[in-house]
Structure 1
Amino acid sequence: MSVWLIMVICGLLTFGLRLSFIAAEGRVTFPRWFRVLLPFVPVATLTALVIPELLLADGALWLSWRNTRLMAGIVAIIIAAATRSVLWTLVGGFATLALWSSLIG
């Protein structure tokens, strides 16, 4: 199968899934437990994507000050907690990653 075909299929599936929730609004009543848990989905998804990138190198756990991604992630977390600003979190995290990478070599 072509990579482009797979990308189009995945895009259509994602669009269809998102559209289903919009189209169902007002017509379907979701259970209370579902509505209570729904706000946690973005946080859980983002965590599942980010944490392996910060903590793993070549499939092995790497907790070291030489892990530039981990150090940049820690700085980004501190900036996010202090400022609550997505922009400053991204700028601080990327700046730390660039600086730490140049210092470590």
Structure 2
Amino acid sequence: MNEFLLITGMVIVTFLIRYPVLAMSGRLQLAPWFLQLLRFVPPTVLTAIVVPAVLMPNDQLWLDFTNARLIGAIAAVGIGVWRKNLLLTIVVGMLVFFIWQWLL
């Protein structure tokens, strides 16, 4: 019962925080410079999530060729810059990660 109340409370709080902004989104006119800044939010957040997971999987900096996550990330960045194809980038990065992990 406590879990149900906890989840219900989280739903209500989340709704009350987000709904007013979404309801007014059609009426608000944001400055072009602000809209341009908002384009950088997704890559920034993704970088903040991925970089610590790749470089510090055990809460210590791991810059070594035995770090399969680092090797996979380097391969993914290389393919992403070269081909500019998101699906190919993900597939190659994961393949390199799994193969490197299997080899070690």
Q: Which TM-score band applies after superposition, normalised by the shorter structure?
A: 0.7 to 0.9
Q: Which sections of structure 1, spanning at least 5 residues, go unmatched? A: none
- Please give the per-residue CA displacement for 1:19-55, whole angstroms capped at 9, x wherever unaligned: 6554333311224443231000001010011000110
Greater radius of gyration (CA): 2
Paired residue for 2:61? 61
> Which ranges of structure 2 fall in alignment gaps of 5 or more residues?
none
Output the TM-score relative to the length of structure 1. Answer: 0.78
Aligned length: 103
Q: Superposition pairs for residues 88-99 of structure 1, below 5 Å?
A: 88-99=88-99
Residue aligned with 1:27, SS: coil
Which stretches of structure 1, 4 residues or more, deviate above 6 A after TM superposition? Answer: none
Give the percent of matched residue pairs that are identical in Structure 1 and Structure 2: 33
Q: Give the letter for the 2:87 counterpart.
A: L
Does residue 9 (structure 1) correspond to residue 10 (structure 2)? The answer is yes
In 2 relative to 1, CA 7–103 (structure 1 residues): closer, same or farther, beyond 3 Å? farther
- d(CA) in 2 for partners of 1:67, 1:7: 41
Gap change, CA 1:4 and 1:53, over 3 Å in 2: farther
CA distance change for structure 1 residues 32 and 9 in 2, over 3 Å: closer, same or farther? same
In the other structure, the counterpart of 1:42 is: 42
CA distance in 2, matches of 1:87, 1:77: 12
